[in-house]
Structures are given as structure tokens and as C-alpha cells.
Structure 1
Amino acid sequence: MACHKIFEALGDPTRLAIVERLSINGPTPTVELVSDLGMTRQAATKHLQILENSGIVRSETKGRVILRMVEPAAMHEAKDWMDRHAQRWSRRLDALASYLDG
């Protein structure tokens, strides 16, 4: 998985709302997800496809129902990336504070 694809996908407010909804509700049928979002099925499918291509969301077909769910591995990858960069900035800011305190 590429972190840039994850962050790019999450940069859209609609896709972020989809991920938040799936994170709270768990696996959700596409039809239910679309009706909750108040958009056309085509628009929702486009957003879901981008989320799937980035690895954030996956789908499972159960009979005639397509369930969408968050892929935890992608979320962990994004979190790990942010944690690494937060630690670097924290060290830099600590060094700057020490320098300024002199």
C-alpha cells in the first residue's frame, strides 16, 4: 500500500465521511451507505472505488448484497506514517526550544 494514495483518498470530505461512517457502523451494504450519504449511486460508487483502489475500503459480496468495510491495515499504515513524522517534528521542536533557551 502507498501512503500517498491513502491520504489522497482521505483528502476528499465525502470519502472521509464514508470512512468515518464505516468505522462507526462496521460493514455496511452499499445501498444503505448510498442512501445515508444523500447522493446518487453512481457518485457514491465512484468514491467507493477510489477508497478501494487506495486500500482503505474493501468489499465482500454476500448473495446480492455488497458489503463495504474499512481495511484496518491501511488505517494502521497511515497512522504509523503520521506517528513517525510526529516524532521527528517533536524532536526538532524540542531541539529548537533548547537552543532558544540557550
Structure 2
Amino acid sequence: MPPDVFGALANPSRRTILDSLLQGPLSAGDLTGRLELSRSSASEHLTVLKEAGLIREERQGRHRIYHLQPAGLKEISGWLKHYEQYWNQRLDALADLLGTDPQNKENPHD
């Protein structure tokens, strides 16, 4: 069965774990403390993220260090590209209607 990346990201605690790992690898204890979760709850979230291919675990002695696996987000990126294209077209059409340049960040009404 393929990993459920979307299901893994549906939970806010798991998104917080990923956000925390953006700054670098962290131990399970560090992640548990940041989330204010029980060890068993944090462990469940970490397992879901590992199974989805979004993080990897490295054992260093008695500690488990978790690393972000950005390649796991490729599925999300591909899915979002379709919507990005859709919204860019919609915003361009709105800009045409309003007579503004969507690439120009300055407010034309200043």
C-alpha cells in the first residue's frame, strides 16, 4: 500500500513536527517537549510520518534522532501545482478586469 502523505499531513501535531524539523534534526524527546504530547502519542505521530516517507529515524545510542525527508513532500507539491496554475489564471483574469498588473507588487491606487 502506498504511503498516505495527505493523511499524515491532515493532523496539526504532525505538521508541527515537520515544521520543527525544518530547522534541523531533533530527538524524540525534543519533539515531545515542543508538542506537549505524551511519549506514546508523539511516538504514534512519528510512526505515521515515517510510514508516509516524510521523516526518517536515526538511532544514536539510546536516542532516536528524526530528520525531515523533503522528497516525501513531492507528491503534495505535484498535486498543488495544478491548483497553483488555476489560481494564477484566476488572479490574472481579476487583474485584467481591474486594470492592474499582477506582477507589480505596488498598489496602483497609492
TM-score, normalised relative to structure 2: 0.71
Query: Do residues 68 (structure 1) and 66 (structure 2) align?
Result: yes
Moved more, 75-84 or 31-40: 75-84
User: 3-state DSSP class of the match of 2:37?
Assistant: coil
- 1:1-102 equivalences under 5 Å are 2=2, 5-24=4-23, 26-88=24-86, 90=88, 93=90
**C-alpha separation between the residues in 2 aligned to 1:37 and 1:89?**
34
> Which ranges of 4 or more aligned residues in structure 1 deviate by more than 3 Å?
88-91
Moved more, 44-53 or 73-82: 73-82
Q: CA deviation at 1:89?
A: 5.8
Identity within the alignment, % = 31
Q: CA deviation at 1:76?
A: 2.8
Q: CA deviation at 1:16?
A: 0.8
RMSD of aligned C-alpha atoms? 2.6
Q: CA deviation at 1:34?
A: 0.8
Q: CA deviation at 1:51?
A: 0.7
The one of the two structures with greater contact order (alpha-carbon pairs below 8 A, sep at least 6) is: 1
User: 3-state DSSP class of the match of 1:39?
Assistant: coil
**C-alpha separation between the residues in 1 aligned to 2:64 and 2:13?**
20
Matched AA of 2:29: V
Report the count of equivalent residues: 95
Q: Structure 1: 5+ residue runs without aligned partners?
A: none
CA deviations over 1:4-43 (Å, ceiling 9, x no partner)? x11111111111111111113x110111111121111000
**C-alpha separation between the residues in 2 aligned to 1:31 and 1:21?**
13
**C-alpha separation between the residues in 1 aligned to 2:73 and 2:16?**
15
